Structure 1
Amino acid sequence: MLVLMQTTESWALFQKAGLVQTLRFPGVIGCIDGTHIPIIAPSVNEGDYVNRKSFHSINVQIICDAANIITNVEAKWPGSVHDSRIFRECTLSTKFGHGEFTGYLLGDRGYPCLPYLLTPYPDPEPGPQQRYNLAHCRTRARVEMTIGMLKARFQCLQRLRVTPERACDIIVACVILHNIATIRGEHCPSEPNISSDPNHEHPDPPTDIQDGRAVRDTICHNHFL
């Protein structure tokens, strides 16, 4: 719904920043994650906004590049909606499915493994699979850092006391201001929390797609032996 950028030039910053060379993870063009932004209980469809942690929230999908620029944001979904559904129904997913982008997004186990969205091995075997998972984790940490920076810059995102519609507008405005601040080289007012979002979890991971597993196995075999 709410797209800021969909350019391969922006995502190519992963390669310019040296992440691919440093972590040996090929073809990365972005990292994806969801984060819950707490809101007050809405007067309409209140139950839809209650997430698995039993508080009301907007589940926001974030995609970032190597420079901590947020290249894509989806801010319209109630907290009860799973990450995999948000990605499945977003415009960007359709564009990837139609082959409009070359490269991979990295996501956690809240997403299915797709030919263009790679997830970790759930039970990695020693050797290449473990090295794949390590490189995947270290690279994908960029989106956790970016979300931490966003929330550190804008304390209002700790809990928005407005309607869901207004909350979504505020979230996107904060994303735009975060990008401007990042481009200008402004530091965060406080140290961002780069650990996994304590308000975010991934129950019942979606089923991986066969083609996605095949792509993952090929990358693992070709680059992590």
Structure 2
Amino acid sequence: MADFDIPNARRPRQFRRIDRFTETDDPEEIRRRFRFTHYSIDRIERLIGHRLERPTGRNQPLTPRQQILITLRFFASGNFLQLIGDTFGVDIATVSRVVTRVTDELCDLKDQTIKFPTTDRHKSIIKQNFFKIAGFPSVIAAIDGTHVRIIAPHEHEEQYVNRKHYHSVNVQATCDHRGVFTSINATWPGSTHDAHVFRTSVLSDYLEAHHHGLEDGIVLGDSAYPCRKFLMTPYLHPAQMFNDAHAKTRNVIERAFGVLKRRFHVLHGEAWGEREAFPEEEDPQPPPLVQLEGNPDGQAIRDAITANIMTMCNKFVKNS
């Protein structure tokens, strides 16, 4: 029988491009395309690979690793699903299912990886390292909000239009001194004010219930937040030493958002050895304690911290 093409025969799906990307000896090529090294991609596969295996009658089902690579490429590039599919030789519907599946599996790990400091030891290490930045005492986290652009939803569309006039979700996050995220709240539309997001958050409830003094630690936020006994904000009137120390210390959360959005363009690894702009964790001497009496409110605590910062600055000047 002569060889000829059968018009409607399905050709077997090819994954040459996936294999080429993963088998390359150039680690920079891997990081450029997927924003992770081989080591970190292997680790993701160990964490969720078994959950991505699906029984199927297809001749060449996507392996867990291929599903992970498709999803990471989508996160890294922010390209249309059609372009991702063209890159890997799969159709757009498959890309959509894969990205959804892998994202859901990664989100299921959030409670294992995103943890707010609650133990004395954990808080002590973070306080010491935050103090090294600008001499601001008792800080266990920096907080801020960032807007993640979305496609206009069909319901309550106007609520998702933020002050910059595009549709978004207002994502609240805290991080430690390394820029590692310790809490995430992504439940509010873009028009929601940062103060409301915080006031209605689980984090606010936790701090309200567990904060009994500066020894429990404080969170640094910008002027969009209310000044509370556990949440320090800058002075609206000039208080240069306090505001400077506050800004330098709190800046870590803005840098963390910057790293996240540069790595994952779909939004515009932290602790896995991926390159980042944050210093290694150290174990310096404990910072001095700020002495307070009674049950002061946020303003009184802020004034006491200001006095403490000024005292330290004066001592430094005298000794220099």
Residues 149, 169 of structure 2: 8 Å contact kept? yes
Structure 1 equivalent of residue 272 of structure 2:
184
The answer as to 2:141 corresponding to 1:30 is yes
Query: Which structure's CA Rg is the greater one?
Result: 2
Partner residue of 2:202 out of 91, 95, 105: 91
Unpaired segments ≥5 residues, structure 1:
159-180, 193-209
The alignment's TM-score, normalised by the length of structure 2, stands at: 0.52
1:100-146, Cα deviation, whole Å (9 max, x unpaired): 5711100000101111000001111xxxx311111000000100010
Deviation at 1:221, TM superposition (A): 1.4
Partner residue of 1:152 out of 262, 279, 286: 262
The count of corresponding residues between Structure 1 and Structure 2 is 178
Partner residue of 2:232 out of 93, 99, 118: 118
Q: Percent identity?
A: 41
- SS at the partner of 1:156? coil
Structure 2 equivalent of residue 165 of structure 1:
none
**Higher strand proportion:** 1
Residues 147, 169 of structure 2: 8 Å contact kept? yes
Give the aligned residue type for 2:217. Answer: G
Residues 35, 61 of structure 1: 8 Å contact kept? yes
Deviation at 1:12, TM superposition (A): 4.2
The alignment's TM-score, normalised by the length of structure 1, stands at: 0.73
1:105-144 alignment, distance < 5 Å:
105-124=219-238, 129-144=239-254
Residues 133, 249 of structure 2: 8 Å contact kept? no
Structure 1 equivalent of residue 303 of structure 2:
217
**Higher helix proportion:** 2
Structure with greater contact order relative to length (CA < 8 Å, sep ≥ 6)? 1
- Root-mean-square deviation (CA, aligned residues, Å) is 2.1
Unpaired segments ≥5 residues, structure 2:
1-109, 279-295, 312-320
Distance 1:11 1:82, change over 3 A: farther
- SS at the partner of 2:169? strand
Residues 11, 30 of structure 1: 8 Å contact kept? no
Deviation at 1:154, TM superposition (A): 0.5
